[in-house]
Structure 1
Amino acid sequence: MSKPDFTLEQSIHAQGFLRVAGVDEVGRGPLAGPVTAAAVILNPAHIPEGLNDSKKLTPKRRAALLDALLETAEVSVAHASVEEIDTHNILRASHIAMLRAIEGLPTPPDYALIDGSMIPNGMTIPAQAVVKGDALSLSIAAASIAAKITRDLLMVELAQQFPGYGWDRNAGYPSKQHREALQNLGVTPHHRRSFKPVHNILYQD
């Protein structure tokens, strides 16, 4: 399997855009919790070894890489809330989180590489959508790591406030335990009411 590299970033640097942010989100599929995005600008002279799509890394490796990124790169993480997911829809909410992550960088980037097939509405800088970007671009892979770790930790915190749903293990995704807890314990303030399994419990005949 090929691993992400810095080719895309270098081609954009060659066009005169020196501060290229990789942007990725996590948490579109869960029934609970926010959707989380990260934006990362790598330092070309200090790229941590082993960056890859967060899903292909062990939790220990992800944590080590995030520590290295926080020392060498610019990293910004942002969320869109359950309310925003229910108000807009999950795609728009994930784009809101992406825009917030970009805006949260210490210095604005010149260019953004967005994981996926769409550039969010409201982008104020040049951008390119990259399908399966976390497997192609080191900057997007770095963003996938920062977003996943941040969201997973948040769901562990929420699991302590709302035990029984298994969010510390399933991160809000519809695991068997989570679906059974929805039936037995009901819907929490952190559940996405627009998502069918939650909606169906709220509006049972």
Structure 2
Amino acid sequence: MTSPDFSLEQLALTNGATRVAGVDEVGRGPLAGPVTAAAVVLDPQNIPEGLNDSKALSAKKREALYDVIFEAADVSIAHASVAEIDELNILRASHLAMERAVAGLTVAPDHLLIDGNMIPRGLTGSCEAVVKGDAKSLSISAASIVAKICRDRIMWDLAQQFPGYGWETNAGYPSKKHKDALVELGVTPHHRRSFKPVHNILYQE
């Protein structure tokens, strides 16, 4: 497993960019909750130690890095709601969350490194899509950590209001407990009605 580094950012800076942002989103797969995106501009002189793809880190390590990233970098978090996911589709909604995250940075970046193989259509200017970017770029890995922690916290809060679905541990993903609860407890306002397992329960007649 290669660790992410700062080479993509460095290349952009060498080519004249002054602020390079990494952008990532989390929450495309869950049956419930928003999709969450983060944009992070790291300070090349003060990059937090231990950044990695959020999926490669323990929950404890992610939590510790979350605060460090906020102290050391310009960070913006944004969401697209369940209603927007159902109205637009999950891909477009996740792109909308990314666009909002970039717009929320204190100073506009002049180059974007975007996790995935597509550039959201609302992002203009200098952008590059980086496949598996959270394992390649430190800025994207920082964004992946921030987005994941933030979304997990939202799902934990929602789990207190809607117990039984296991959101505090499955974050809304379709685990067995979550799918069983959908059948037994029904659909909540936080479920994505356009997603097949939810749709099928609502319209099983």
TM above 0.5, yes or no, is yes
Aligned to 1:116: 116
1:47-126 maps to which residues of 2 (within 5 A)? 47-126=47-126
Q: Which amino acid aligns with 1:108?
A: A
| 1:80 CA displacement | 0.2
**CA-CA distance at 1:4 after TM superposition:** 0.2
Determine helix, strand or coil for the equivalent of 1:198: helix
Moved over 6 A (4+): none
Deviation at 1:122, TM superposition (A): 1.3
Deviation at residue 16 of structure 1 after TM alignment: 0.5
Task: Give the Cα separation in 2 of the matches to 1:2 and 1:92.
Answer: 30
Once the two structures are superposed, residues 1-48 of structure 1 have per-residue CA deviations (whole angstroms, 9 ceiling, x without a partner) of 210000000000011111000000000000000000000000000001
The residue type equivalent to 2:81 in the other structure is S
TM-score (norm 2): 0.99
Paired AA for residue 34 in structure 1: P
Q: Aligned-pair distance for 1:64?
A: 1.1
Q: Secondary structure at the match of 2:145?
A: helix
SS across alignment from 1:145: helix
Match for residue 32 of structure 1?
A: 32
SS in 2 for 1:152: helix
Task: Structure 2: give runs of 5+ residues left out of the alignment.
Answer: none
Structure 2 counterpart SS, 1:190: coil
- In percent, how many aligned pairs have the same letter? 70
- Deviation of residue 120 (structure 1)? 0.2
Give, in whole Å, the separation in 1 of the partners of 2:122 and 2:97.
Answer: 12
- Paired residue type of 1:24: D
Report how far residue 125 of structure 1 moved: 2.4
In 2, Cα distance between equivalents of 1:90 and 1:11: 32
Tell me the amino acid that sits aligned with residue 182 of structure 1: L
Q: Measure, in 2, the Cα distance between the counterparts of 1:99 and 1:35.
A: 12
Alignment-mate amino acid for residue 25 of structure 1: E
The CA distance in 2 between the partners of 1:67 and 1:161, in whole Å, is 26
> TM-score under structure 1 normalisation?
0.99
Deviations 1:61-82 (A, max 9, x none): 1111111111110111100000
> Aligned partners of 2:67, 2:86: CA distance in 1, in Å?
33
Letter paired with 1:169: T
Aligned residue pair count: 205
**3-state secondary structure, aligned to 2:24:** strand
